[in-house]
Each structure stands twice: as structure tokens, then as C-alpha cells.
Amino acid sequence: MPFTEILALCMIGAFFVLLIAGIPVAVCLGVTGFVFGYFGFGPMLFTLMPARIFGVVTNYTLLALPLFIFMGIMLEKSRMAEDLLEVIGLAMGGLRGGMALAIILVGVLMGAASGVVGATVVTVGLIALGPIINRGYDAGVASGVICASGTLGQIIPPSLVLILLADIMGESVGTLFAAALIPGLMLAGLFVTYVLLLGVMRPAAVPAIPSEERANYSRRDLAGKLVKVVLPPLVLIFLVLGSIIGGVAAPTEAASMGAFGSIVLAALAGRLSYTVLRDTVRAAFVTSAMVFLILIFAQPFGLAFRGLGGERLVHDAFGAVPGGFEGQLLFLMLLLFVLGFFLEWIEISYIALPLFLPVFLASGADMAWIAILVAMNLQTSFLTPPFGWALFFLKGVAPPSVTTAQIYRGVVPFIGLQGIALALVFLFPGLALWLPATIGW
């Protein structure tokens, strides 16, 4: 094996060692990329880097990231999820599992309105976990529903994952948003089906809201509240997604409209104040800075790996996988799933995925379909122990009576459901490709 390829393998190993040692991801990327790149091909690395970094910070599409982050945080600060959960929960409370169904629907709406997983899990966890356990819900089931519904923001557009995958794979954001819509709603439908089956098979685990509590609200009151609470975010979602998928506005322009719309919704709800606006801007700046710092330091890492012959190593490894293209794609899915136990989605997207991408570009496969498969796979990284971030988010706000073991147990069925959804999109690519083809993307 050539010396440069040995350096490429050592660079990957050094990255994981630093990561396990607790070094921030961006620093791990920058240190390993610069050190091993310099060992491999000297000062030339520094002459190539400015153009790569300039390309990241001037990428017009990536400007949508901080705007969508701002939109999600503003909707969280304005307590939209709290209103949605209360109204939808009461409307569906007569069903066994009605509160769980309400949580899933709130996850769909919050995911489509913001695309920020942490905000949804924390908000719904604070509002709903304690009350539904007190109503008799199994703690594991309740925890699993909240974690899984929170991750729907990863696949239902506008999703930060899809925006980054569009940049990595050279696809338009509108194409990936259109391709993700049906798989995302299908996954939410699988969650709903599971809860309904639980209501039949284990009614004690997901009891209905007592009729005495529901009797305090007439049907007319509930209908009025549904229109008042659910309609505004639906209009915002339609304007943002419709303008992108319909080709009326670029993703950045639609994200700007969404950010402004979130401010309007907060004002209409009477919850817009200087403190809310200040906290939202500050949180959006911090989150955006973290994302862009990783994107910038991923450039020397990727450049060094390619320069050291790492792409050839990956190509040879995939060439040894039996089963042709389908076998290689299954191998990629399995690899990403295993990496999701230990790495965050953004690390996998900008470290692992670019290493494997040339293999599939050379095969002539539809990259939009592969992008949706990757996005659905990365979604499981939020749920898989030991480092699933949705598990950490929920544990941080859960009542002391809810144990980590109960949370882990609760998410297992939903990981299985995500696997089923991934398999369906793999076997039937039309689930992802029909809508973009129909609207002409």
C-alpha cells in the first residue's frame, strides 16, 4: 500500500481518537486535515484552501440555513408547539393513543415549519411527557413517541439535512424537498399506524383522555381553537414549501419569508417581545456558527483525504462488495446506520458521505433518490443509543421518574419503523422520485 494511502487511514483513525477524547468536531476536522495534508503534499495544501473556504462562505443556498434556524427557534419561543399540542390533543383525546397521535401531528407540523429537531423534542418533552404519563401512558411509549416525532423534522421539508445534502450532492434544494415530502409523510403515517395498533393491543399503555376532562370543551370551541391555532402554521408551511417546490422562490428567499412569517405569527399570538427576539437571534447565531464552522473545517479534511488517495481506497472497498450497485448501496446504508450510533448527522454528512459519493456518481444513479435514502438513514442517528441526540434532549427535560432505560426501550419500535420506511423507499424509488418528476424538477 502506498505511503499516502497509509496516511489517509491514519488520518481517519486520528479523527476518531480526537473525537472520543472530547475535542469539538470542528477542531478534530481542522487539526487532522491540516496535519496529515501537510505531511502528504506539503505547503500546496494552504494554497488550495482559500478557494475552498471562500466557496463555502459565499454559497448562496447555504444562506437558507441560518434563516430556517431562526424560523424554528422563533416558533419555539412563541410556544406554538404548546398551543398545537393542547388543541389537537383535546380534539383527538377520545381515541386510545389520542395524545400520542397529537404529538406525532405536532411533530409533522413543527418539522415542516422549522426543521429543527432539538427544539421540537425539548418543547414537546417539557409540555407533554409529564402530563401524559400522569394520564396513565407507559413511560417508554410516551418517550418513544416524543423522540420519534421530533426527528420528523429531519426528513419533512424544510430540513437542514436536505439543504446540506443538496449542496454535497449537487442537487437543487427544491428537488430534494419535493422528493422528501411523500417519504416523510409516509413515515409519519407508519408512526400513527403503530400508535393505533397499540391502542388495540395494549390499551392500558395508551389510554384515552377521560370524558370528564373533554366535556369542558364543546365541539364548537374545539373547532374554533383548531382554526385559530393550526391554520397559521399551515399557511406559513404552504407559503415556504410551496414557493420552493413550485419554483416561485429560491430556498434562501423562501427561508427569508419563513423567518419573517415566524415573527408575524409570534406577534399575532401576542408573544413577540424584545426579550424573545433577542434570545431567538442569539440562539440562531450560535447554532448557525456551529454549523458553518464544521462546514469550513470539513474542507481541509476532505481535501487532504482526497489528496492522499483516500478516494481510491473507498472505491476499491466498494468494488469488493458483492451484489453490484444494489449491494454497494445496501453497504452504504448499513455503514451510515452504524456510524449514526457514534456520530451526529452533520459529521456523517460532511465527513463520511463525500468519501463514498464518487462511487455512486460514477454509477449514474439518481442522486435525489440516494439523498432521500441517506436523509432517512441519518434520521435514525437521533434515536440510536448511545449517542442519539433526541434521547439526550428528552432525558434533559424528562421528569426524574423517567429512566434512561425507559427512553431507550421506547425508541426501539420507532427505529424499526424507520427501517421499514427506508426499505420501502429503497424498493420503490418512485416514492421519492414521483413528485419531483410530476412538477418538472
DSSP string, 83-107: HHHHHHHHHHTTSTTHHHHHHHHHH
pLDDT at 386 over 70: no
pLDDT value at residue 92:
73
Averaged pLDDT, 402-429:
90
End-to-end Cα distance, the chain: 44
Which tens digit of pLDDT belongs to each residue from 335-376? 888 877 767 777 777 777 777 777 787 777 788 999 999 999
The alpha carbons of the chain give a radius of gyration, in whole angstroms, of: 22
CB of 306 within 8 A of CB of 12?
Answer: no
Q: Could you give the percent of the chain with pLDDT greater than 70?
A: 92
Averaged pLDDT, 69-82:
77
pLDDT at 418 over 90: yes
How is residue 64 written as a grid cell?
437558507
The number of residues in the chain equals 441
Q: Mean pLDDT score of the chain, rounded to an integer? A: 81
How is residue 303 written as a grid cell?
481535501
pLDDT value at residue 424:
95
Q: Could you give the percent of the chain with pLDDT greater than 90?
A: 10
Residues 173, 175: Cα–Cα separation, whole Å: 5
pLDDT value at residue 217:
61
Judged by average pLDDT, the poorest of 90-99, 297-306, 429-438 is 90-99
Judged by average pLDDT, the poorest of 25-34, 117-126, 200-209 is 117-126
Residues 408, 187: Cα–Cα separation, whole Å: 20
pLDDT at 188 over 80: yes
CB of 165 within 8 A of CB of 375?
Answer: yes
pLDDT at 33 over 80: yes
385: left (phi over 0), alpha (psi -120 to 50) or beta: beta
Q: Bigger pLDDT: 302 or 116? A: 302
Which tens digit of pLDDT belongs to each residue from 142-174? 889 988 888 888 888 877 788 888 888 888 888
What is the residue extent of each domain of the chain?
A: 3-439
Residue 189 banded pLDDT, cuts 50, 70, 90: very high
pLDDT value at residue 134:
79
How is residue 359 written as a grid cell?
462511487
pLDDT value at residue 425:
94
Residue 114 banded pLDDT, cuts 50, 70, 90: low
pLDDT at 387 over 70: no
Residue 441 banded pLDDT, cuts 50, 70, 90: low
Residue 115 banded pLDDT, cuts 50, 70, 90: low
pLDDT value at residue 306:
74
pLDDT at 402 over 70: yes
Alpha helices in 269-323 (DSSP H): 274-307, 310-319
User: Taking the model in full, what pTM does it have?
Assistant: 0.81
Q: For 283-298, b where at least 16 C-beta lie within 10 A, e where not — what string?
A: bbeebbeebbbbbbbb
Averaged pLDDT, 268-286:
87
Residue at grid coordinates 463520511: 352
The residues, any chain, with a CB within 8 Å of residue 357's CB and separated by 6 or more, are: 168, 169
Which tens digit of pLDDT belongs to each residue from 238-251? 888 778 777 777 77
Q: What's the angle, vertex CA 227, arms to CA 224 and CA 230, rounded to 5?
A: 135
pLDDT at 66 over 80: yes
pLDDT value at residue 423:
94
Residues 35, 9: Cα–Cα separation, whole Å: 13
Averaged pLDDT, 386-415:
81
Q: How many CB atoms lie within 10 A of CB 234?
A: 12
Q: For 40-76, b where at least 16 C-beta lie within 10 A, e where not — what string?
A: beeeebeebbeeeeeeeeeeebbbbbbbbbbbbbbbb
Residues 144, 409: Cα–Cα separation, whole Å: 8
Averaged pLDDT, 195-203:
87
pLDDT at 14 over 90: no
